[in-house]
Amino acid sequence: MTAVLELEAVRAGYGIIDVLHGVDLHVEPGEVVALLGPNGAGKTTTIRVAAGQIRPSAGRLLMQGREVTGVGTDAFARAGVCVVPEGRGIFPNLTVAENLRMMTFSGASYRDVLDRAFEQFPRLEERRRQLAGTLSGGEQQMLATARALVTDPAILMLDELSMGLAPLIVEDLYERIAELAATGLSILIVEQFAQTVLGVADRAAIMLHGTVSRVGPPDEIAEELAEAYLGM
């Protein structure tokens, strides 16, 4: 089976400073992979490379078996790569509905965008006329995720889904992620705190010092996650 996403021996960074030192990682169709590690390990840089936002200085990046190393972000979007970035990436001075309207670039009608977003996250329908910047942190994360999902992504990448959110909100969001995974959507989740994400992941990868040091079933690497100070 061809992987939806594959990084092979990827090196990348910012300017002359490499952050990633030969990263190998893949996500299979319908698989949820958790990328875990402490701050500064290279997790967000890995997501940015995988989304075409940073060009690798070495190595290869493949989408569904086709090499896409160095192509522009537009090509990644057309290939079905969708990222919910750390900080969520919503427009705070627009309403919930206006934020969703912007996703009609994918070709879907405004009505379809709203219907799909509100089906996934009913609370957003209650807040449709509210400015996104006045939503709670959990509601903002719902909006960011809904914006991503209405594009029918081949792979959804979530960077620090739980950042700044109360535990009950995080649990609710991960229940929704589990439901999405059950539909066969491929998902790559970057997290610093591992406990909740391990409940929905098929595989987990530990990232330390710019390399993937261990990959395996979550239950097999739980002790290693604890040793890496990942909030277990």
Angle between helices 167-182 and 137-149 (to 10 degrees): 10
Do 45 and 13 form a contact (C-beta atoms < 8 A)?
A: yes
What is the pLDDT, as a whole number, of residue 75? 84
Q: Which residue do the tokens 């209650």 mark? A: 126
pTM comes to: 0.90
Written as six digits, the tokens of 209 are: 């010092």
Quick: pLDDT tens for 4-52.
Answer: 999 999 999 999 899 999 999 999 999 999 999 888 999 999 999 999 9
Give the start-to-end residue ranges of the domains of the chain: 81-150
Do 84 and 157 form a contact (C-beta atoms < 8 A)?
A: yes
Quick: pLDDT tens for 82-121.
Answer: 999 887 889 999 999 999 999 988 788 999 999 999 999 9
Written as six digits, the tokens of 70 are: 């160095």
Residue 192 CB-density burial (10 A; 0-12 exposed, 13-18 middle, 19+ buried): middle
DSSP state of 117: H
Decide if pLDDT at 77 tops 90: no
Q: Which residue do the tokens 């649990």 mark? A: 171
What is the pLDDT, as a whole number, of residue 22? 97
Mean pLDDT, to the nearest integer, of 186-199?
87
Quick: pLDDT tens for 1-17.
Answer: 799 999 999 999 999 89
Average of per-residue pLDDT values in the chain: 90
